[in-house]
Structure 1
Amino acid sequence: MRRKYGHDIFSTVIELTMFLYILTLYFFGQISELVVIPNSFALILIVSILFEVLLKGGTIRINKVLTSFALFVIISLLSFFYALDQTVAFVKSRTLILVFTLMLSLAAYVASLERVKRLMNYYIWSGFFLSIYILRSAVISLLNNSYFSRFGGELGNENAIGISIGLAAVFTFYFIYAERKLAYILPLTVMIPSALLTGSRKVVILFLFNFTLIPSLYYIRFQKIKLRSVLKFIGLSLLIVFLLYYAIFNIPVFYQSIGKRVQALFVFSTGGYVKDYSLVERRYMMDSGLRFFSEKPLVGHGIDNFRALFISVPGGKDTYAHNNFIELLVDVGILGFIFFYLTHFFALQHLSALSKRGSKSVAVMSYVMSSIIISYVILSIAQVYYYDKHFSILLAISSSLCSSEKRK
């Protein structure tokens, strides 16, 4: 009885700490002065999980995803010794060690479908609370006739804020499709507009991709292919696209936040002239990055050292590449690039196998995880996420779920 009571205490501490970690990561993870708050909860979470594992006499299982990420971290750490700017390389190496330790801990703890579902709920609640905050800011701005092109900037990078909300929104699809809990439509309808108000073009792509792929996989696997079902699905998909299009380009507050930016992206992609300097700058970063990569293609210039090179070129500044492919190739070369993206390959490989042999709940969970991982790969051309804690958690729980189901 005492042993079971001890387990219950540790489980309660872990679950509470996990929720507080994700919640503070949403609100403070992008603020350099306050990032110590989620990092502190991360350390408490890691220690609590290790105690729980020791209490049960369990072991931490290393799978292909974790092994690949460990090799990527080792390459990144070694790059410190030849980095142009060893200070930033040291800081990023420290972050990667924390991320990998967190991945190991979560992979050991979140080893069942029920625990994964609880973790997804923590994400949904955190995304919902952050969405309420952003919607509140938008309403106050409208009432005061104040002009803001994007919302959420006071919490850090608007793109990162938007993607984190988008991630929580996509998680609701599991509960809507697998468990038929229509109550999750409410937080979904709150998170979609708030994510758009951040002005992140990547969120639009994230929504369109996941809101199409996940239902497609679900219908192919669990619904009989009839003309009526196909037409229903096509109609629903077109409705989602139309509603997003209408909101972005016809509702003033959304047009100011995201519509203009999407419009500029389309014009820029077709070779037209745009006033959006960020698009021109990112193209310049990519061209510069390819040149930096050609100088040291195998091992790169050192982790997080794209900024040390870009600041020295005409018109350059101290910043990251805004492109995960370019950032990794410049920082850790082909070797680091391969091992990082091997984590994606192994995770998708295991999730695909799991979706075919698992229950309906496990299959839908696999579709949700796979869809998000693929969308991150697509968005690699527009964001840097190799050290992103949200994505690292996703990889950890995906690999853990696959391992636990395989042992059954």
Structure 2
Amino acid sequence: MISYSRGKLTFDRKHGAVDLITDVSLVILFCAVNAFGATGKGQDYLYYIGSFLFIGMTALKALFWNQGVFRLRLTYHAIWYGSFILLGIASSMWASNFAAVFVPMSRMVQILILSICISYYLEKEEDFDRLLNILLLSFLVMTGYILLRTPPEEWFSGFIGKTTTHFNTNSIGLSASIGTIIAFYQAYVRGRKWYFLALIPPLALVVMTSSRKSLFMALAGMALIALLNTRSKNYFLRLLVSLGIVAAVGYAVIKIPALYRAIGVRLVSMYDYLMNNDYSADSSVSKRMSLIQMAKLFFYDHPFRGIGLNNFAARYSKTVANVGYAHNNFWEIAADLGIIGMAAYYWFYAYLIIRHFKQIFTGNKLSILFFSYVLILLFTEYGLVSYYDRLQQLMLAVSFSALFVSYDAEGNVPASENVQQDDDYGAADYAGGLREER
């Protein structure tokens, strides 16, 4: 497998055929999730091919790389998301619309299985580097695919990519913002300067989508990474330059006419709505606020256990056409599953944020990236429903696995620390049906 490490492009001859097929399956999977997967139900063949290959290769390695004994890795992440799925299924007992509970269930189970496979894939530092490169490649493929399929005169017309990929433009923008953050991390924290070039296409696509939450995630992510990279040389100078670049991007979307038409006008209208109570300024924000208010009312009526998973969408769509979600992860979960659901879902975010924040100061450079991602995702979820979003949930699985690779001051993995971290990797491994404590 070709990899880039410490300024050198190398070919790993120990990376065998099964490993190579696994990597290719991940490329297919993430390209499908980001660019090619929004087809008719049952027709997203690339996603199925990538998923089946990845799951199959993971099972093959888990079985034959351990003397024929299959080990099921049951991590805290798997327990968290699996428990949330079970809570959702249990909510069918009190849900007014029984069938609605099971609408997102197939996707959530797929996410759980893929997340478990990711925990097998990510064992060493180079595995994370490889996966970050695969993710970035998928975002670059998405950007290139959208730009090539869209006439140049429409690039800054706003809401680019929807007709090309059939994804919501906010989903496209959020994918591109994650690509921007990963490229910035590789260039700024890991010192791989050419990644600054890889940052430009996804950041440009973020602006072209007119997605405000995506621009916030991209700019806030870069700023937070620069702020947390305290071990870098000339820290304050680098921080000022980085924050200046972020500010310059924000200034450009307001002052450059093409960028203003694409997204600047939406930022200004949102400001007028929030600061001046101008309800005519932004119909999009006004609609989202009304949806959030309705979710609050459902929660106030059923605060303890909610009205049943996915039942907010089922109930609200009876009175308002084409409404599928509350545009707010907090209030959608609160309306559907009440206080129990909120606690069952968000304890894991708190766990990731606290653990990554602590590891930043022990030299885990990956924690700079994933602390920034999880914290900003938490803020972004005020305008986003993510509990069944494939990309965001798989990123949370990667964020969890990143807790168990330690870096010294130069970004190397000390063997002793890596073994110590592995003791806390998850709840347990199951081998041959017997519980083996780690």
Both structures adopt the same fold (TM-score exceeding 0.5): yes
**Conserved 8 A contact 1:19-1:122:** yes
Distance, in Å, in 1 between the alignment partners of 2:274 and 2:130 is: 41
1:245 equivalenced with 2:278 (yes/no): no
Distance apart, 1:368 and its partner CA: 0.5
C-alpha spacing 1:172/1:113, structure 2 compared with 1 (3 Å): same
For 1:369, give the aligned amino acid.
F
RMSD (Å) for aligned C-alpha atoms = 2.4
**Conserved 8 A contact 1:293-1:300:** yes
Distance, in Å, in 1 between the alignment partners of 2:264 and 2:150 is: 16
1:23 equivalenced with 2:39 (yes/no): no
SS at match of 2:102: helix
2:370 corresponds in structure 1 to 369
Distance, in Å, in 2 between the alignment partners of 1:214 and 1:388 is: 24
Q: Give the TM-score, by structure 1 length.
A: 0.88
Distance, in Å, in 2 between the alignment partners of 1:136 and 1:7 is: 33
Identity of aligned residues (%): 22
1:48 corresponds in structure 2 to 57
Distance apart, 1:316 and its partner CA: 5.9
Give the number of the structure whose residues are more often strand, by fraction: 2
Match of 2:356 among 338, 351, 354: 351
SS at match of 1:61: strand
For 2:244, give the aligned amino acid.
L
**Conserved 8 A contact 1:64-1:346:** no
1:104 corresponds in structure 2 to 116
Match of 1:113 among 121, 125, 129: 125
Question: Bigger CA drift: 349-358 or 14-23?
Answer: 349-358
**Conserved 8 A contact 1:197-1:258:** yes
C-alpha spacing 1:6/1:86, structure 2 compared with 1 (3 Å): farther
| Number of matched pairs | 390
SS at match of 2:71: coil
SS at match of 2:231: helix
Distance apart, 1:60 and its partner CA: 3.6
**Conserved 8 A contact 1:124-1:172:** yes
**Conserved 8 A contact 1:292-1:309:** no
Question: Bigger CA drift: 8-17 or 158-167?
Answer: 8-17
**Conserved 8 A contact 1:151-1:257:** no
- Give matches, 1:8-407, under 5 Å: 8-33=16-41, 34-57=43-66, 59-136=71-148, 139-142=151-154, 148-154=157-163, 155=165, 156-218=167-229, 220-223=230-233, 229-246=235-252, 248-270=253-275, 271-313=277-319, 315=320, 317-358=322-363, 363-403=364-404, 405=418, 406-407=421-422
**Conserved 8 A contact 1:63-1:399:** no
Give the number of the structure whose residues are more often helix, by fraction: 1
C-alpha spacing 1:236/1:7, structure 2 compared with 1 (3 Å): closer
Q: Which has the higher contact order (CA 8 A, sep 6+)?
A: 1
Structure 1 unaligned runs (5+)?
Answer: none
Question: Bigger CA drift: 173-182 or 330-339?
Answer: 173-182
C-alpha spacing 1:35/1:260, structure 2 compared with 1 (3 Å): farther
Distance apart, 1:41 and its partner CA: 1.8
Distance apart, 1:232 and its partner CA: 4.9
Distance, in Å, in 1 between the alignment partners of 2:402 and 2:279 is: 47
Q: Deviations over 1:72-104 (max 9, x none)?
A: 111012223433333332121111111111111
Distance apart, 1:318 and its partner CA: 3.3
For 1:113, give the aligned amino acid.
E
Q: Deviations over 1:171-209 (max 9, x none)?
A: 112321343211111110121111110110011211221
Distance, in Å, in 2 between the alignment partners of 1:347 and 1:66 is: 14
